[in-house]
Structure 1
Amino acid sequence: MTGPDPRTGGDTPAGTADEAAADRVRRTVAAVWRLESARIVAGLTRLVRDVGLAEELAQEALVAALERWPRSGVPETPGAWLTAVARRRAVDHIRRSKLRERREEELAHELARSPGYGYGDAGGYDGGYDGPADPDDGWSGDARSGAGRSDDEPSGDGPSGDDDDVLRLMFVSCHPVLPTPARVALTLRLLGGLTAGEIARAFLATETVIARRIADAKRALAEEGVAFELPDTEELAERLSSVLEVIYLIFNEGYTATSGEDLLRPSLTLEALRLGRLLARLAPDRSEVHGLVALMEIQESRSAARTGPGGEPVPLHEQNRGRWDPLLVRRGFAALLRARDLGGVPGPYVLQAAIAVTHARAATAEETDWASIAALYRALERLVPTAVVRLNSAIATGMAEGPAAGLARLDTLASEPSLRDYHLLPAARGDLLLRLGRAAEARIEFGRAADLTRNTAERAFLLRRAESAGPPPAPEGPTLGGAAGEFLAGAGLEPATALSYRRTLDRLRRSLGDGLPLTELNAERVAGVFTSVWDGVAPATWNRHRAAVGSFARWAELPEDPVARIPRRTTAPAPARTAPGPAGEDWWDALWLRTDIPVRERTLWRLLYESGAPVTAVLGLDAERLDLADRRARSGRRWVRWRSGTAALLPELLAGRTRGPLFLTDRRPGPARTPSADLCPETGRARLSYERAEYLFARTTRALDPSGRGGTLGRLRKAGSAGPGDVDRHGTDEAGSL
């Protein structure tokens, strides 16, 4: 049997025609799902009060469509069909749950009245729904309206039209109880309709990791009892800020990918734009929402001009502005006008949108009103005085007032800890130095920036900029990278000392660049690295880094002592003690130098020291709840945060594990001796107990304690403090103007 082939006008086998029709249906279902999934899941969440269950019910409706539409055809209103089927399944679930609860109550009542009553008299009840629910079960008529129809005959009712449900879903998926990566993944899943595989491909992660992140987020929302409600007036601004942050994070990852081969990930920028436009429709009276939409519209308008034929980045001032999308530019202008019409003090997103609009108004790069942009950045600094905003403000100053003025401001950021690994800081310095005619220095800065970025396209671009700055000057002597390698290889250091010195010198090389002539390793440069990288460490750690640099300088016979401006730090005398035990940070720091201690103990002790969290909270951590990127984890109702020492040890401790308790015993427990929640499903070992942890710490520290009793974990965690920081991405238009 054959049928007409629309491509050729001839005949084609019926099987091929059927396959083509099925493929068209699948594409239709996918498109409808992307458009309607947020509204469907939101409406179901209002019914069942559980985000995870709501998504499962919506997925069941999607499966039903994939099974039936190839046979029956796509309905005239496919969104209404999916909504009706999903709602009926939600009502069936609610009725089954209520009936199960009622029968369980009856059974419990019978058992209470008749102690000898056995389960054999329960009529074989298996919890299933076997008949109509009580008409007075408390559910409204509109929730029951589809109960008598089959799934193939949905009602004519379309989506409820209650946009508040979608807005509630946005606030729930971006709730502050979730770590940032979980918020991003859950938002793309619930509001974007993306599969775990699509999200994983966008963020260069594995599908398993994303699926686990989404599942953990749903579980956390359920455990925290997060209500499916709009925030109260008092917390609305903070919660809305969280939603805007998530949308902009999604956009930024697509606008300039942090890692991978490509500079752009269009699927993410387009999805962020869709979510932003949706939020603007749902919350039309919020100027910051319109400001974010305006910012994204204008930034996205440049996408076609931001890369060359081979995918290489094109800087903003070199872009062909004729390739900017005029429709997106107009949309951005209109969104900013809506934000301004709402009045009030401009917020961070409105100010950034105004900066983007100023760029878009210039027909050529030379016509850009840099004085206005610099003024807008100064206003943004007053609202959001973060290091990244100050970096962009310095670049704008360099364009408005000259490269010397910009470089002077940039140099004030050299010791900023949050920018120490931010590749756009040396990239911006390289650009300003090049404009000042200091090509050799610019070349070094572009090389540093290339070493710091994780994006392949950006790295290649920065290396080309380094090469274009001119040939490297003929070496008049050794460089920092070469000399450090020779020192570590040939100075005859003990293995433990060599490892410690390597860490110090590697950090120094990352901050100053391998190509820095050794003669330029002066006290001012080294002091800047110490201030930006190690200012918050304990005195013993500070002194250890100082000793490493000093030993290297003496070996290299430098003309100037690079640690001359770096004083040794001393530990304040310990207060009088009422109980035996060690005191003083030097005592604790002696532990971090020990390489003979198992990684489990070292990680536990370091985490307690850096977080200041209760011992039971740290021992209660699970591998699946670790947010390694944000350096935090959930333990019960508490967040536990850590710093670089713990961050360096965790991968070794986990050794690829993704589930189960973080800290495990050495042996497997006997049968039925440990609750399943305290067992690692991958190793079969149990959670480390408080008593065992205290014993191990006391045993290890007896030699350091004058009393011979050893320390306690409680004293260790009180000796340290928490407070890791992150680089935010506000105001990245100038530094990220590729």
Structure 2
Amino acid sequence: MRKRQVDGAGGAFRPAPVEYGAAVDRYLTAAGLGNASLRVYRISLHGWAWPLVDRRAPIGRERRGARPPVVPLAVLDAPKAPERLQRGLADRASAAQPRTVARELACLRSATAWWLARGWIATDPAIRLEPATQLSDAALVLSDAPTAVRETAVGPDRARAVLALRAPLRELTLWHLLHESRAPVERVLALDIDHLDLPGRRTRERAAGALGWGPGTARLLPLLLAGRTAGPVFVTDRRAPATTPAADRCPVTGRGRLSYRRAAELFTAATGPLDPAGRGWTLLVLRDRAVPATART
């Protein structure tokens, strides 16, 4: 007998999907995306169906209207699934802009994490995918900034240099939010998803202390939260221990709330190349020339 799964709070029990396309539809329904984002996510996720069956995906105009192959969802648990997806990633990178590849890999990772949390797949074949550049999570880079930044950046230029770095989506979102809101790190890391008013670029009244942000954060947050509707905004890379309080654990992925210590460690490591002394900076540099909340558009 197949597993049955509740889709969302108060939802009816439904059989777990057996086909990749059906799993994509269920994920996108739960994600609560706007029409434009929904279309982008659907095209991106359907594009991964071809490499899962060792076929090359269409490119250019043919990609948008192409009907993906029917793929059993169980194929994601096959031993060769990560290898097939890695080949598909390399193939896509040869035909698309880095930002496009970044977005499509982010879409896949969000979806597979959501399916894994529901028990629809037993392993996550996307968790170790890396683009050809071999940068850690560089495929999630969403910034238009140049890849090279001045190593001698000082004073107000430090925040600008940090936000031009290639970095994982989670870190990039956190840095933009700290920079644009000027909020203490502890307050930002304590945010839960239901605290956020994404269209208004601010926190709701239930949040502890008003907090607003600018266009950089507004662009990144929806991608970071795709597929998640509750729990901490910023979560760890791995599942939290069983002893972790429910308030500090994502109900979708099981990952725990990101700690100040870990966020600081990652920031110092990432900014090492920018620091003339090679030691890296602290998160406080993100307050340099911060964008005030009143400047939101």
Q: What is the TM-score normalised by the length of structure 1?
A: 0.20
Higher relative contact order, chain-length normalized (CA < 8 Å, sep 6+):
2
Higher percent of residues as helix:
1
